[in-house]
Copies of this chain bind each other. A is one copy, B any other.
Amino acid sequence: MKKIAVFTSGGDSPGMNACVRAVVRTAIYKGLEVYGIYRGYEGMIEGDIKRMYSHSVSNIVQRGGTILKSARSEEFRTKEGRQKAYEKLQKHGIEGLVAIGGDGTFTGAKLFFEEYGIPTVGCPGTIDNDIYGTDYTIGFDTAVNTALEAIDKIRDTAAAHDRIFFIEVMGRDAGFIAVESGIGGGAEFVMVPETKTDLDSVVNALKNLRKTKTSSVIVVAEGDDEGSAETIMTKIKEKIADSSKEFKVTTLGHIQRGGSPTARDRVLASRCGMAAVEGLIAGEQNCMAGVTNQEVVFTPFGDCIGREKPIVRDHLRLIDILSI
């Protein structure tokens, strides 16, 4: 293997740049030529591919977003699109790929590998942490801390006004951000897609809590089965006859995707990037480089996207116990 390329795809996440930097520098260190593909699969189809050097990735380890940009590509879902992409890679002599992204990225990479056989190793770049095969995904720790800082701020104002705040965090299919920011932020309740949300029991518990607490924070993952934070607040407000408290909603939104990555995300991103390149050289393909139990592990793309990653059970218990 002499030439490899790296790209970022899907929603951006903090640490993607640290990962790109690790891929580029490890490749150069190992004597490979390395290219950057811009705007994910879209840029692959269009041939938006540039040679990268050590200095191309200087001073990016601390930056959010991705210097390679990201995009969603409809065309790559078509056979014709992938054919074009393959031709562009051939033209540049690319023999291996590092794909940084989440579910959708790996689904595309798997299909592309099966059709054209270019060895591909993925790195788990998504804030949602919903990828099997790695304890944490790149960007998750930063997103949790961003959510947590917001919760800390809102708690100030909740306490000052004796309010009940519903805070919606990201997580369409997974409650990891909600659970960890909820434990960290001392939330009274956390509602996640993985478990059935029982609003009646929340209402009862809220009534009980009020005897000792004058304000409460409820963290809601955007994909909760009872709906958005706004919807849930409205339902609870109706159920709870007492109107003496003010109910408020805040939806954190896109601030959770940005920001300078935390140490944990930079280290994880660097390690996955290095492992992906070393994996490619060692013959790995159609799999993702993750870190489990402090060790690098390569997991087939099929498992990464097909197997469920459960929330740590202790974490759900923690919220119950600590909110008393």
Interface string of A284-318 (1 = CB under 8 A from B): 00000000111010000000000000001011011
One of A74-82, A103-111, A112-120, A138-146 contacting the partner: A138-146
| A129, CB-defined interface residue at 8 Å | no
The answer to whether A312 and B294 touch across the interface, beta carbons within 8 angstroms, is yes
Chain A 47-81 interface 0/1 with B at a Cβ cutoff of 8 Å (1 = within)? 00000001100110111111001110000000000
In the complex, per-residue mask of A117-149: 1 if CB is within 8 Å of any chain B CB, else 0: 000000000000000000100000100111111
Given known A-B contacts A160-B66, A161-B70, A263-B144, A22 and B322 have beta carbons under 8 A apart: yes
B184 near A267: Cβ-Cβ < 8 Å = yes
Partner of A212, one of B55, B141, B159, B184: B55
A65 and B262 within 8 A (CB): no
Interface residues on chain A, size class = 35 or more
The answer to whether B160 touches A70, judged by C-beta atoms less than 8 angstroms apart, is yes
| A156 with B251: CB separation less than 8 A | no
What are the 3 tightest A-B residue pairs by CB atom distance, in nearest-first order? A153-B258, A64-B156, A65-B156
Known: A62-B186, A135-B294, A321-B26. A154 touches B255 (CB 8 A): yes
- Residues of A254-302 contacting chain B, CB below 8 A: 254-255, 257-264, 266-267, 270-271, 274-275, 292-294, 296
Q: How far is the CA of A231 from the CA of B29 in the complex (A)?
A: 31
**In this complex, what residue of B is CB-closest to A22?**
B322
